[in-house]
Copies of this chain bind each other. A is one copy, B any other.
Amino acid sequence: MEAIARRAGVSKETLYRWWPSKIEVILAAMVEHGQVSIPLPDSGDLPGDLRAFLRSTIDALDGTTALLLRAVAAAAATDQAVADGVRDRFLHTRRAALGTLLDRAVARGEIPDEHTTSLVDFVYGSLWYRLIFGIGRLDHRWADETATAITAITAISRQPAPLPPLPPG
Protein backbone atom coordinates (compact mmCIF):
# COMPACT_ATOMS: atom_id res chain seq x y z
CA MET A 1 0.00 0.00 0.00
CA GLU A 2 2.94 2.33 0.86
CA ALA A 3 4.41 1.86 -2.64
CA ILE A 4 1.08 2.49 -4.36
CA ALA A 5 0.48 5.65 -2.31
CA ARG A 6 3.96 6.94 -3.15
CA ARG A 7 3.56 6.24 -6.86
CA ALA A 8 0.07 7.80 -6.93
CA GLY A 9 1.34 10.84 -4.98
CA VAL A 10 -1.31 10.53 -2.27
CA SER A 11 -1.15 9.74 1.43
CA LYS A 12 -1.65 6.21 2.68
CA GLU A 13 -4.71 7.52 4.56
CA THR A 14 -6.30 8.67 1.29
CA LEU A 15 -5.60 5.30 -0.27
CA TYR A 16 -7.17 3.43 2.65
CA ARG A 17 -10.22 5.71 2.57
CA TRP A 18 -11.01 4.46 -0.97
CA TRP A 19 -9.74 0.87 -0.73
CA PRO A 20 -9.77 -0.44 2.86
CA SER A 21 -7.40 -3.35 2.13
CA LYS A 22 -4.78 -4.63 -0.29
CA ILE A 23 -7.23 -7.10 -1.81
CA GLU A 24 -9.67 -4.22 -2.53
CA VAL A 25 -7.00 -2.34 -4.50
CA ILE A 26 -6.16 -5.49 -6.47
CA LEU A 27 -9.84 -6.18 -7.23
CA ALA A 28 -10.43 -2.60 -8.43
CA ALA A 29 -7.35 -2.89 -10.67
CA MET A 30 -8.55 -6.27 -12.03
CA VAL A 31 -12.04 -4.89 -12.82
CA GLU A 32 -10.49 -1.93 -14.66
CA HIS A 33 -7.94 -4.15 -16.46
CA GLY A 34 -10.69 -6.49 -17.67
CA GLN A 35 -12.92 -3.67 -18.89
CA VAL A 36 -10.09 -1.92 -20.73
CA SER A 37 -8.39 -4.94 -22.31
CA ILE A 38 -11.24 -7.36 -23.07
CA PRO A 39 -13.62 -5.80 -25.62
CA LEU A 40 -17.09 -7.29 -26.12
CA PRO A 41 -17.17 -8.61 -29.69
CA ASP A 42 -20.42 -8.60 -31.67
CA SER A 43 -19.70 -10.57 -34.84
CA GLY A 44 -23.25 -11.87 -35.21
CA ASP A 45 -22.56 -15.46 -34.19
CA LEU A 46 -21.53 -17.15 -30.96
CA PRO A 47 -18.51 -19.19 -32.14
CA GLY A 48 -16.82 -16.03 -33.51
CA ASP A 49 -17.73 -13.90 -30.49
CA LEU A 50 -16.58 -16.52 -28.01
CA ARG A 51 -13.28 -17.15 -29.74
CA ALA A 52 -12.45 -13.42 -29.86
CA PHE A 53 -13.55 -12.87 -26.26
CA LEU A 54 -11.51 -15.81 -24.90
CA ARG A 55 -8.43 -14.83 -26.91
CA SER A 56 -8.58 -11.28 -25.43
CA THR A 57 -9.09 -12.79 -21.98
CA ILE A 58 -5.91 -14.85 -22.42
CA ASP A 59 -4.01 -11.82 -23.78
CA ALA A 60 -5.05 -9.85 -20.67
CA LEU A 61 -3.63 -12.63 -18.46
CA ASP A 62 0.00 -11.47 -18.46
CA GLY A 63 2.52 -12.65 -15.83
CA THR A 64 1.70 -9.98 -13.24
CA THR A 65 -2.05 -10.43 -13.68
CA ALA A 66 -1.74 -14.22 -13.34
CA LEU A 67 0.28 -13.78 -10.14
CA LEU A 68 -2.25 -11.34 -8.67
CA LEU A 69 -5.18 -13.59 -9.59
CA ARG A 70 -3.51 -16.58 -7.94
CA ALA A 71 -3.03 -14.49 -4.78
CA VAL A 72 -6.70 -13.46 -4.94
CA ALA A 73 -7.75 -17.13 -5.28
CA ALA A 74 -5.61 -18.15 -2.30
CA ALA A 75 -7.11 -15.40 -0.14
CA ALA A 76 -10.66 -16.31 -1.23
CA ALA A 77 -10.12 -20.04 -0.61
CA THR A 78 -9.23 -19.47 3.03
CA ASP A 79 -11.56 -16.58 3.96
CA GLN A 80 -15.27 -16.56 3.12
CA ALA A 81 -15.55 -12.76 3.49
CA VAL A 82 -12.78 -12.30 0.92
CA ALA A 83 -14.47 -14.87 -1.37
CA ASP A 84 -17.73 -12.89 -1.13
CA GLY A 85 -15.92 -9.66 -2.06
CA VAL A 86 -14.05 -11.25 -4.98
CA ARG A 87 -17.26 -12.80 -6.29
CA ASP A 88 -19.45 -9.68 -5.95
CA ARG A 89 -16.93 -7.05 -6.99
CA PHE A 90 -14.74 -8.77 -9.62
CA LEU A 91 -15.98 -12.17 -10.85
CA HIS A 92 -19.43 -10.67 -11.29
CA THR A 93 -18.11 -8.16 -13.89
CA ARG A 94 -16.48 -10.94 -15.96
CA ARG A 95 -19.56 -13.18 -15.72
CA ALA A 96 -21.75 -10.27 -16.86
CA ALA A 97 -19.53 -9.63 -19.91
CA LEU A 98 -19.62 -13.29 -21.01
CA GLY A 99 -23.33 -13.40 -20.13
CA THR A 100 -23.98 -10.57 -22.62
CA LEU A 101 -22.43 -12.64 -25.44
CA LEU A 102 -24.49 -15.69 -24.46
CA ASP A 103 -27.71 -13.69 -24.11
CA ARG A 104 -27.25 -12.34 -27.64
CA ALA A 105 -26.79 -15.93 -28.89
CA VAL A 106 -29.99 -16.95 -27.07
CA ALA A 107 -31.84 -14.01 -28.70
CA ARG A 108 -30.57 -15.16 -32.13
CA GLY A 109 -31.84 -18.69 -31.38
CA GLU A 110 -28.33 -20.15 -31.42
CA ILE A 111 -28.37 -21.72 -27.95
CA PRO A 112 -31.12 -22.64 -25.51
CA ASP A 113 -31.61 -20.27 -22.57
CA GLU A 114 -31.43 -22.99 -19.91
CA HIS A 115 -27.67 -23.68 -20.00
CA THR A 116 -26.18 -20.16 -19.89
CA THR A 117 -25.26 -20.22 -16.18
CA SER A 118 -23.54 -23.60 -16.60
CA LEU A 119 -21.68 -22.31 -19.66
CA VAL A 120 -20.36 -19.26 -17.76
CA ASP A 121 -19.20 -21.63 -14.99
CA PHE A 122 -17.54 -23.91 -17.56
CA VAL A 123 -15.53 -21.06 -19.12
CA TYR A 124 -14.36 -19.27 -15.97
CA GLY A 125 -14.21 -22.50 -13.97
CA SER A 126 -11.73 -24.10 -16.36
CA LEU A 127 -9.74 -20.87 -16.59
CA TRP A 128 -9.27 -20.57 -12.80
CA TYR A 129 -8.74 -24.34 -12.43
CA ARG A 130 -5.91 -24.27 -14.98
CA LEU A 131 -4.46 -21.10 -13.47
CA ILE A 132 -4.50 -22.27 -9.85
CA PHE A 133 -3.26 -25.83 -10.38
CA GLY A 134 -1.10 -25.23 -13.47
CA ILE A 135 -3.10 -27.70 -15.60
CA GLY A 136 -2.17 -27.63 -19.27
CA ARG A 137 -1.87 -24.51 -21.39
CA LEU A 138 -3.64 -21.16 -21.17
CA ASP A 139 -3.09 -19.75 -24.66
CA HIS A 140 -4.97 -18.99 -27.87
CA ARG A 141 -5.25 -22.72 -28.58
CA TRP A 142 -6.97 -23.17 -25.24
CA ALA A 143 -9.26 -20.23 -26.10
CA ASP A 144 -10.18 -21.77 -29.47
CA GLU A 145 -10.71 -25.29 -28.10
CA THR A 146 -12.88 -23.98 -25.27
CA ALA A 147 -14.94 -21.85 -27.67
CA THR A 148 -15.43 -24.89 -29.92
CA ALA A 149 -16.45 -27.19 -27.06
CA ILE A 150 -18.85 -24.59 -25.64
CA THR A 151 -20.44 -23.92 -29.01
CA ALA A 152 -20.75 -27.66 -29.73
CA ILE A 153 -23.86 -27.21 -27.58
CA THR A 154 -25.24 -25.07 -30.40
CA ALA A 155 -24.86 -28.04 -32.76
CA ILE A 156 -28.49 -28.98 -32.31
CA SER A 157 -29.69 -25.75 -33.91
CA ARG A 158 -27.06 -25.98 -36.65
CA GLN A 159 -28.11 -29.38 -37.97
CA PRO A 160 -29.60 -28.91 -41.44
CA ALA A 161 -33.31 -29.74 -41.34
CA PRO A 162 -34.01 -33.18 -42.89
CA LEU A 163 -35.01 -32.91 -46.53
CA PRO A 164 -38.76 -33.19 -47.13
CA PRO A 165 -39.73 -36.52 -48.70
CA LEU A 166 -39.92 -36.39 -52.51
CA PRO A 167 -43.42 -36.01 -53.90
CA PRO A 168 -44.74 -39.44 -54.98
CA GLY A 169 -44.12 -40.20 -58.61
Q: Residues of A at under 8 Å CB distance from B?
A: 70-71, 73-78, 80, 83-84, 86-87, 91, 112, 115, 117-119, 121-122, 124-130, 132-136, 145-146, 148-149, 152-153, 155-156, 159-160, 162-163, 165-166, 168-169
Contact = CB atoms under 8 A, between A and B. Distances in A.
Number of copies: 2
Contacts of A145: 117-118
Nearest to A152: B153
A139 to B, nearest CB: 14
B87 A133 contact: yes
B134 A83 contact: yes
A8 to B, nearest CB: 26
